[in-house]
Amino acid sequence: MCGIVGYVGHRRAVGVVIDGLERLEYRGYDSAGIAVGHVADGAPARIEIVKRAGKLEVLKIALEGRMLEGTIGLGHTRWATHGEPSDINAHPHLSEDGQLAVIHNGIIENYGELKERLSAAGHVFLSETDTEVMVHLIEEHYRGDLAAAVREALAQVTGSYALAVARADHEVIVVARATSPMVIGLGEGENFVASDVPALLAYTRRVIFLHDGDMALVGSDGVTLTDLHGAPLARDISEIDWDAESAEKDGYPHYMLKEIFEQPAVVYNTLGGRLVGETDVNLDLALDPHSIDRAIVTAAGTAFYAGLVGEYLIEKLARLPVEVEIASEFRYRDPVVDERTLCIVVSQSGETIDSLEALREARGRGARSLAILNVKGSSISREVDDILYLQAGPEIGVASSKAYLGMLVAFELLALWLGRARGTLGDDGAREIVRALRSVPRLIEDTLTHRPCIAEVAETFKDKDHYLFLGRGINFPTALEGALKLKEISYIHAEAYAAGEMKHGPIALIDDDMPVVAVATQGELYLKTLSNLREVRARNGILIALAHPGDDMVGAHADVVIPVPETHELVSPLVNVVALQLLAYETANRLGLDVDRPRNLAKSVTVE
Ligand code: F6R
């Protein structure tokens, strides 16, 4: 939610900041803005601001021909919370005297009362944002020391923030963090600030992840870290192993397509080094598998659906009871959790506020914790007992694809490990799954070759208003994820049901105008799924089936078959979902929609 970039050094700040914003646009894209400090006689003399409603392109057009020469800059790409997307509400926000600029990600919860008090004291507010109170508060406390003014202002604020502040007469950026992510990039004679690592990769891989309650003074020659009371702090410097190219489109028209095609490598890398021989797994976890009686998986969106697959796998292979909970529900519902509960939190970004709070809730009640994460150094990574990292690389497309695959692999590995350790999974069973997992990269490659057939389906049905997705057992989450992808990027209304549930209500929706996508790959419930397909046909439904090549039984009922290769049923969600990702992508693309930046969404949801 909202992307923040800051630069102080020897280059023209505008180039670095715009470059960083381009890489962070997945965090929000309803408006964008930039502030540049202008150096006159060796000191910044004024701050110039350009900001526009709309995507970053609109700001770039507004910047054409502008001579922004300064070497200190702030940039922001917004996902609106308070106030509609407009030029005025876009960040940075500037003080009345034009000397102070502020960008912010998060929510100032007590902004209403602060605004009332400040207005009564004569401050004039221009925007409807919560952020603007920070400008006035800092201004009110400013007596020559910018860091002290920010500290005093923050003492009056409740809420979440990643905040960056610049003043015309200072050659530093002051930053602070509470809940919303912020990272400092370290260069030579230059330093950087960003809400997310991809903004920095072209310049440095040495970073400091700020913790909640950290502040920093970022100058060209150094960074000084303190707490919110000004006491010095030390934080580790981390080396990022992602390279700049992994955050580029690499010739693909969209990040999402590139990320879908990267999935064979994601599976290969996430398995990498963790499979031991033909039957075992080494996950390097501190967790004693005998110390737990149950697991609770908690997550949001796509990560939640990965958790549903995880539930199926862990219960099947390790006979450990698992519940899967939407993080935003779990955190508020007084859950029954004790020290023999394992809380598994799943998150691509590691920053989703609901997932972080759900983890805190479970830990506060004594649970052991394990995170399945993609982004190293993220907030969740700092509060958890054990971590299983996906090896997915940066995911830029707002709709998640390759991270989902990484999460599924992580759950496969975890279920295998728990099953072996708890003695519920024998050698033969383990061998079959390990063998199947090793072949997944090849099977995904095979699925990807069916893109033309999937594109034809997308073309045929792209103008439909509604879609139904059906799946059973371990592929019910596949149907849920397929429906989510389609609604997110094509804006077509899509619902997913467990196929056996259809006759309990949703069957009333079926007519000759609504495509029904059924995951009909063979498995334990194959014959039952076939009867569900018959029920759809009997009501003149349009049936699109995912089935194994040559499956005539399914072929006899379906209007269209999308072929997906056969594999072990417990591994099939990793292969099947790829076809549904492509269906959503091809549909959105044919509708001329902005696949990588779907309306109203943001990549990591760091506000409630
Ligand atoms: C869907 C999507 C979202 C995220 C959800 C959780 O395509 O991307 O539903 O899965 O917001 O995000 P993370 O995994 O970062 O916690």
Residue 44 predicted with pLDDT over 70: no
Instruction: Give the Å distance between the CA of 303 and the centre of ligand 1.
Output: 6
- For residue 72 the two structure tokens come to 């200190």
Active site residue 603: yes
Could you give the CA distance from residue 9 to residue 171 in angstroms, rounded to a whole number?
A: 9
Model confidence at 271, pLDDT cuts 50, 70, 90, reads very high
Ligand 1 in contact with 259 (CB < 6 A)? Answer: no
Residue recorded with tokens 């109170």: 133
Report the percentage of the chain scoring pLDDT > 70: 99
Residue 526 contacts residue 545 (beta carbons within 8 Å): no
Ligand 1 in contact with 298 (CB < 6 A)? Answer: no
Q: Are strands 294-299 and 341-347 parallel, antiparallel or unpaired?
A: parallel
Ligand 1 in contact with 374 (CB < 6 A)? Answer: no
Ligand 1 in contact with 605 (CB < 6 A)? Answer: yes
Find residue 186's DSSP bridge partners. Answer: 191
Could you give the CA distance from residue 7 to residue 13 in angstroms, rounded to a whole number?
A: 6
Residue 545 contacts residue 560 (beta carbons within 8 Å): yes
Residue 529 contacts residue 518 (beta carbons within 8 Å): yes
Find residue 518's DSSP bridge partners. Answer: 470, 545
Active site residue 60: no
Instruction: Give the Å distance between the CA of 403 and the centre of ligand 1.
Output: 9
What integer pLDDT is reported at residue 39 of this predicted model? Answer: 58
Residue 528 predicted with pLDDT over 90: no
Model confidence at 13, pLDDT cuts 50, 70, 90, reads very high
User: What is the rounded average pLDDT of the residues 388-408?
Assistant: 94
Residue 94 predicted with pLDDT over 90: yes
Residue 573, Cα to own-chain centre: how many angstroms? 20
Residue 314 contacts residue 412 (beta carbons within 8 Å): no
Residues 6+ apart with CB under 8 A from 508: none
Residue 430, Cα to own-chain centre: how many angstroms? 32
Could you give the CA distance from residue 489 to residue 496 in angstroms, rounded to a whole number?
A: 16
Model confidence at 41, pLDDT cuts 50, 70, 90, reads low
Calculate the CA dihedral of residues 37, 40, 43, 44 and round it to 10 degrees.
Answer: -20
What integer pLDDT is reported at residue 208 of this predicted model? Answer: 96
What integer pLDDT is reported at residue 40 of this predicted model? Answer: 57
Model confidence at 376, pLDDT cuts 50, 70, 90, reads confident
Could you give the CA distance from residue 375 to residue 346 in angstroms, rounded to a whole number?
A: 11
| DSSP 8-state secondary structure symbol assigned to residue 458 | H
- The full length of the chain comes to 608
Residues 6+ apart with CB under 8 A from 317: 415, 416, 418, 419, 424, 425, 429, 433, 570
- For residue 445 the two structure tokens come to 């490659």
Model confidence at 356, pLDDT cuts 50, 70, 90, reads very high
Instruction: Give the Å distance between the CA of 405 and the centre of ligand 1.
Output: 13
Q: Closest Cα to residue 487, out of 584, 397, 400, 398? A: 584
Residue 196 contacts residue 240 (beta carbons within 8 Å): no
Could you give the CA distance from residue 136 to residue 129 in angstroms, rounded to a whole number?
A: 12
Instruction: Give the Å distance between the CA of 402 and the centre of ligand 1.
Output: 12
Model confidence at 200, pLDDT cuts 50, 70, 90, reads very high
Report the percentage of the chain scoring pLDDT > 90: 80
Q: What does the pLDDT look like over 280-304, one tens digit per residue? A: 999 999 999 999 999 999 999 999 9
Residues 6+ apart with CB under 8 A from 114: 108, 133, 137, 156, 157
Q: Given ligand 1 and candidates 605, 606, 608, which is best to mutate, with the most ligand atoms within 8 Å of its CB?
A: 605
Residue predicted with more confidence, 390 or 242: 390
Instruction: Give the Å distance between the CA of 373 and the centre of ligand 1.
Output: 11
Q: Closest Cα to residue 356, out of 504, 507, 179? A: 179
Q: Given ligand 1 and candidates 352, 356, 379, 408, which is best to mutate, with the most ligand atoms within 8 Å of its CB?
A: 352
Tell whether pTM > 0.75. Answer: yes
Q: Which long-range contacts (CB under 8 A, 24 or more apart) does 591-597 make?
A: 591/462, 591/490, 591/491, 593/489, 593/490, 593/491, 595/254, 595/256, 595/257, 595/397, 595/399, 595/489, 596/26, 596/254, 596/255, 596/256, 596/396, 596/397, 596/398, 597/25, 597/26, 597/29, 597/55, 597/398
Model confidence at 401, pLDDT cuts 50, 70, 90, reads very high
Ligand 1, atom 5, residue with closest C-alpha: 301
Ligand 1 in contact with 532 (CB < 6 A)? Answer: no
Residues 6+ apart with CB under 8 A from 548: 521, 522, 563, 564, 565, 566
Full 3-state SS string of 402-434: HHHHHHHHHHHHHHHHHHHHCCCCCHHHHHHHH
What integer pLDDT is reported at residue 523 of this predicted model? Answer: 84
Ligand 1 atom at minimum distance from 404 CA: 10
User: What is the rounded average pLDDT of the residues 104-130?
Assistant: 94
User: What is the rounded average pLDDT of the residues 163-172?
Assistant: 94
H or E stretch covering 7: strand 3-8
What integer pLDDT is reported at residue 145 of this predicted model? Answer: 96
- For residue 562 the two structure tokens come to 């999308």
Q: Given ligand 1 and candidates 26, 27, 348, which is best to mutate, with the most ligand atoms within 8 Å of its CB?
A: 348
User: What is the rounded average pLDDT of the residues 111-120?
Assistant: 95
Task: Classify residue 454 by burial, with Cβ atoms within 10 Å: 0-12, 13-18, 19+.
Answer: buried
Find residue 269's DSSP bridge partners. Answer: none
Q: What does the pLDDT look like over 465-522, one tens digit per residue? A: 999 999 999 999 999 999 999 999 999 999 999 998 988 988 888 899 999 999 999 8
Instruction: Give the Å distance between the CA of 150 and the centre of ligand 1.
Output: 32
Residues 6+ apart with CB under 8 A from 601: 398, 399, 488
Residue 26 predicted with pLDDT over 90: no
Could you give the CA distance from residue 491 to residue 246 in angstroms, rounded to a whole number?
A: 28
Residue 100, Cα to own-chain centre: how many angstroms? 32
Average pLDDT over all residues of the chain: 93
Ligand 1, atom 16, residue with closest C-alpha: 347
Say what angle helices 301-318 and 402-421 make with each other, to 10 degrees. 20
Residue recorded with tokens 């057939």: 453
Residues 6+ apart with CB under 8 A from 344: 295, 296, 297, 298, 307, 310, 369, 370, 371, 372, 414
User: What is the rounded average pLDDT of the residues 174-189?
Assistant: 95
